[in-house]
Amino acid sequence: MSRIGKAPISLPKGVEIAISDKNLVTVKGPKGTLTQQIDPVITVKNEEGTLTFGRPSDAKPHRSKHGLYRALVANMVKGVSEGFVVEQELVGVGYRATAKGQQLQLALGFSHQITFEMPAEIKVSAAQEKGKNPIIRLESADKQLIGQVAAKIRALRKPEPYKGKGVRFVGEQVRRKAGKAAGK
């Protein structure tokens, strides 16, 4: 069996789960509500606060879906109980970020400011300390959505390899290249 798929998911306090007849899993918790449609070949059982996933055979599609849906539901449970946080830093002279409600204003070295509209499920904040790079902080219960939004923000100005300027995740290492050699 799949090592990920056969691992049970224990439900923390305050998290409720509902499994409908059509394999629609709904997870409710203090941080919100998430739903996921599960393939009918995968069986989900809720036994006394522990979720287990099963599959009908060892065929390759069944094995891959077994681990996939278990991981998706585990991320939903963690999201509605603890939530997910992604932090990005802006590296570059004059790079700034300001958050106003659900809008993120970015100055990334272009001739104009970029206004990025956030989905309602994500809370955004921007911090600027003197002598440090600006930090963008995204918080959400949905891991897929927060990852997609963070990737879109990073794609606005990817870190370049010569000076390292751009939008990067906090703690991300950028491979640097040597520039042109000085005169002979």
What does the pLDDT look like over 112-148, one tens digit per residue?
999 999 999 999 999 999 989 999 999 999 999 999 9
- Rounded CA-CA distance 76/86 in Å is 16
- Rounded CA-CA distance 58/73 in Å is 21
Domains (ranges, CATH) in the chain?
A: 3-81 (3.90.930.12), 84-169 (3.90.930.12)
Is residue 30 within 8 Å of residue 57, measured between CB atoms? no
Per-residue pLDDT of the chain (184 residues; tens, 9 = 90+): 468 888 999 999 999 999 988 889 999 999 999 999 999 999 999 888 899 999 999 899 898 899 999 999 999 999 999 999 999 999 999 999 999 999 999 999 999 999 999 999 999 999 999 989 999 999 999 999 999 999 999 999 999 999 999 999 999 999 998 888 755 5
Residue 157: partners with Cβ closer than 8 Å, 6 or more residues away: 92, 95, 108, 109, 165, 166, 167
- Rounded CA-CA distance 70/14 in Å is 20
Residue 147 has which token pair?
């990852």
Nearest partner of 128 among 94, 151, 86, judged by Cα: 94
Phi-psi region of 162 (alpha: psi -120 to 50; beta: other; left: phi over 0): alpha
Q: For the purposes of burial, counting CB atoms within 10 Å of the CB of 20, is it exposed (0-12), middle (13-18) or buried (19 or more)?
A: exposed
pTM for this predicted structure? 0.87
